[in-house]
Amino acid sequence: MQRAIIHLDMDAFFASVEQLDDPRLAGQPVIVGGSLDRGVVCACSYEARAYGVHSAMAMAKAVRLCPSAIVRPVRKGRYQEVSRQIFAIFGEYTDRVEPLSIDEAFLDVSGCERLLGTPPAIARAIIARVKQETGLTVSAGVAQNKFLAKLASSRCKPAGLLVLEPEQVDAYLLSLPIEALWGVGPKTAEQLHRHGIRSVAELRQLERSSLETRLGQLGGVLYELCRGRDEREVERPSEPHSIGAEETFTADLSAAEDLNRELLQLAVKVSGRVRRAGLRGRRLTLKIKYADFSQMSRSRTVAAGLATTDPVFQTAKRLLLDHRQGQRPVRLLGIYLADFVTETSGQQALFADDQASKRSLDAAIDTLQERFGDAGIKRATLLEGSSSANRRKPPR
């Protein structure tokens, strides 16, 4: 069966988000990156690219090339927020999504035609949805494999759609310089140039063996790519085995309220990470290390899966109550979630049980954690009695 792959790539992603959030930047050369003296360009708007600015360039050089540029710092949390939005849209069309970076993915839509329409129609629908829901533009390449789909999207930017039908592939490839091929960086290009090979058409004249002699394994890959052949599958990212956090206390803790406060803090951290990964953990493990360094782990299975702070906290608290040996002072506590289900695998209905207010509180915490890191946010319960002061207290 002919495969159908869509490559989607947001246009000048970080810079476009900055222009979206601050309308004064619309139509202006915008550079997102580090400090002027030592930093590099992380992204730049198309207006800045017109001056020769590109990503990975030293900021100092970029600003010299484009003195009118408006420089903005990287706002990772905000880009991740938009990234989640676009991947949620991608996931509505197929679960065969391979993320390549924060703003780029392959979708395998083979066999989806009857349900969703032709691959170009799906790409057009996604482009429209992304624009409508985020206000940003994405470019899409549609082809029979990953190499061709990515090639297509890279050559129709910005806000483009390029469909390479199988019968067009040959003519299209032959017109390209070798630099268009995946894996041909400046070094390989120079090596090929020395042999008088500058175009895909010239590369095609070479035998596989002679390419392999010159370039090793890459030679074999290029032999296939210059013929438009690429058998690699769209691979879903593997899920983590477990997500957890643990804390070693400066001073050993004995009082239940101190231990519970630490558990709540761990629950905030762990549930946040699980939610950001779009997962629910069905097995919670509590790790306890005592003052004498002996340690134990106890697990509980929750069929519906855990992703919000309160159920994670309550389950861990229960395990501690049931399994802590006497009043032995505790040196370390850890909470781990494992046995994951994704939020999209039919578990969504179960969220109805979680109080909506708790979910939205968790969402707010996630946003703050992304912006300020784990240290930036503490629930009110964590602040009462100031847990850091407690930790420095000598053991009782």
Annotated catalytic residues are 104
Under rule CB under 5 A, residue 10 binds Mg ion = yes
Least distance to Mg ion from the beta carbon of 101, Å? Answer: 7
Judge residue 294's burial from the number of C-beta atoms within 10 Å of its C-beta, 0-12 exposed, 13-18 middle, 19 or more buried: exposed
Least distance to Mg ion from the beta carbon of 162, Å? Answer: 15
Using the minimum distance from each CB to Mg ion, give the nearer residue, 13 or 336: 13
Least distance to Mg ion from the beta carbon of 93, Å? Answer: 19
Least distance to Mg ion from the beta carbon of 12, Å? Answer: 7
Using the minimum distance from each CB to Mg ion, give the nearer residue, 98 or 103: 103
Tell which one of 5, 9, 222, 261 touches Mg ion (CB under 5 A). 9
Would you state the torsion angle of the CA atoms of residues 211, 213, 219, 220, taken in this order, to the nearest 10 degrees? 90
Candidates 10-18, 254-262, 268-276, 285-293 — which segment interacts with Mg ion by CB under 5 A? 10-18
Q: Beginning with the edge strand found earlier in the chain, give each strand of the sheet holding 242-253 in spatial order.
A: 242-253, 330-342, 279-290, 295-306
Q: Are strands 30-33 and 41-44 parallel, antiparallel or unpaired?
A: antiparallel
Binding mask 254-273 for Mg ion (x = CB under 5 A): --------------------
Output the DSSP codes for 177-233. Answer: BGGGSTT--HHHHHHHHHTT--BHHHHTTS-HHHHHHHHTHHHHHHHHHTTT---PP
Least distance to Mg ion from the beta carbon of 14, Å? Answer: 9
Least distance to Mg ion from the beta carbon of 146, Å? Answer: 16
Least distance to Mg ion from the beta carbon of 103, Å? Answer: 4
Using the minimum distance from each CB to Mg ion, give the nearer residue, 117 or 158: 158
Residue with tokens 């349900």: 115
Using the minimum distance from each CB to Mg ion, give the nearer residue, 8 or 245: 8
Partners of 168 in beta bridges: none
Binding mask 70-109 for Mg ion (x = CB under 5 A): ---------------------------------x------
Phi-psi region of 313 (alpha: psi -120 to 50; beta: other; left: phi over 0): alpha
CA gap 217, 204 in Å, rounded: 17
Candidates 8-16, 112-120, 121-129, 151-159 — which segment interacts with Mg ion by CB under 5 A? 8-16
According to DSSP H, which parts of the chain are helical? 13-21, 46-49, 59-65, 76-93, 113-116, 119-134, 146-154, 166-174, 186-194, 200-203, 208-215, 217-225, 256-276, 309-323, 356-372, 380-383, 387-392
Using the minimum distance from each CB to Mg ion, give the nearer residue, 10 or 178: 10
Query: Minimal CA–CA distance to 333: which of 282, 395, 285?
Result: 285
Query: Minimal CA–CA distance to 137: which of 84, 80, 86?
Result: 86
Chain positions 298 to 337 lying near Mg ion, rule: CB under 5 A, are none
Candidates 12-20, 80-88, 228-236, 302-310 — which segment interacts with Mg ion by CB under 5 A? 12-20
Contact 212, 220 (CB under 8 A): yes
Contact 235, 302 (CB under 8 A): no
Using the minimum distance from each CB to Mg ion, give the nearer residue, 140 or 288: 140
Long-range contacts from 363-369, C-beta under 8 angstroms, 24+ separation: 365/268, 365/272, 365/309, 366/272, 366/275, 366/276, 367/77, 367/81, 369/272
Considering CB under 5 A, how many residues would be counted as binding Mg ion?
Answer: 4
Using the minimum distance from each CB to Mg ion, give the nearer residue, 14 or 340: 14
CA gap 381, 396 in Å, rounded: 22
Which chain residues interact with Mg ion by CB under 5 A?
Answer: 9-10, 13, 103
